[in-house]
Structure formats: structure tokens, C-alpha cells
Structure 1
């Protein structure tokens, strides 16, 4: 949980899977839209959690409320995560939603927008081939 019981309580859903003898962690989150400083604090909490884990593949996804060139996404990428989506996921052609991955083995990823009319965010899908 981020900012538990605060004005902008957020969190992350974490799933651990074993598939074909590979340990996979999927983390889905929705970072604050309040300000850059709070998002960075949330990213550091996520990074600290992930640093304590040893997985073959980590998938980090969610509404990051940050554009690709932001310091928030730079921080995530500096931690070894790769983003495969180049399509707008939000109004006005912005990319705010991500499915990023960090893998110890080669993977192939295809990314696409499935639906654009369910909400103000578009439905992003990544297909991972192991």
C-alpha cells in the first residue's frame, strides 16, 4: 500500500507464478496522479520490494500517470525494465499505461492496444513468448 489511509491511498497487486520451471512475478499498480515526488516515492517502494526478490521474469504494469520521457519511467528503465508499447494509452495521444518486463532469459513481446472506448485509458495487451 502507498499512502495507506491517506488522501491518495494506492497499492500494488502482486502475483507469483511458476511456469516451465521459470519463476515469474507480475506486479500491477496505479501510481498517484498528484505529483512527481509522490510517484517517485511509490516507484522506490516498488523497486525496494523487487530488489528483495529473485525471479526469472518480472512484469511490471499499470497506470503510471507518467509519460515515457518522465523521470519516473527513466528510473524504472534504469532498473532494467523494458517497455514495448509505443501506442497512446490515454486521451490526447499520451502514453500513461505500461507493461514493462525484466527477464533473465530471452523473450519475445508483442504489444498492442485492444480497446479504446471503455474508459479514458485504452486497453493495452502484451503477449510474452518464453
Structure 2
């Protein structure tokens, strides 16, 4: 497991918008992280109706950022290249609202392709092994 200190300063998300808390496993192409610290009523993306499932795409995108930070650190890079989310595709939502009190969220992301300009990942978000959301994200490096 990778505690947050290993990567949290290398991602652009700050404060309550850091949605991921721990990395369970990662490799050159895959990451499994977990979001568990936000009680439902304090989640930064929650509305009066609750946490809408569309926001699970942000969990997927943050898993990509954490993965990039871990890859950069493993290569001895002193900084992580900044990226911008430029596309969400094939997003499937299996619920309308998410009850964070039920269990933490498991977030998986897999690198499909990466080069100097950016990367494309697939992601899925589960709760108690039940799929809640899946899709693909494309990231473009800001210095590309």
C-alpha cells in the first residue's frame, strides 16, 4: 500500500478535492486506489440530493493523476508532468446517486496508450465489488 504522502503533493488536487486516500496496488499500466475519507454529508461534490454518479468520473481521473505521479517518482523524476482532462468517453453509470456510508469506493484505472503528448485510460469505480461507473479518460500534457 502507498500512503497518501507518497503521491499527494505531486497531484494538482488539493484539500477536500483529493478524493483518493490510499493506493492498494499499481504497476506500469494499472492502479487500484480507494476513496474512503469523505462522509456523505461533507463530500465536496455532493449536492442537496446526494453524490451524483457522474462525479465518479472525477475519481477515475484522479486515479490517472496518482498513477502518473507514482510512475514519475519510480523513474526518479523530480516533478510530475501536468495534464488536462480533455475527454470522457463511453461513460456508463450504474446508479444515479452514490451512498458513501455503505462502503469505500474502489477505483481502478488502466493505461491504454501513453506518449509524450498525453495518455488514455479506462477506469471503473466499484463499491463492495459492485460496478458503479466505468469509462475512458483522455489526458493531454499541458507542455506538449
Q: When the two structures are superposed, what TM-score results if normalisation uses the length of structure 1?
A: 0.32
Q: By percentage of residues, which structure has more strand? A: 2
User: 1 or 2 for the larger relative contact order (CA 8 Å, sep ≥6)?
Assistant: 2
Normalising by structure 2, what TM-score?
0.30
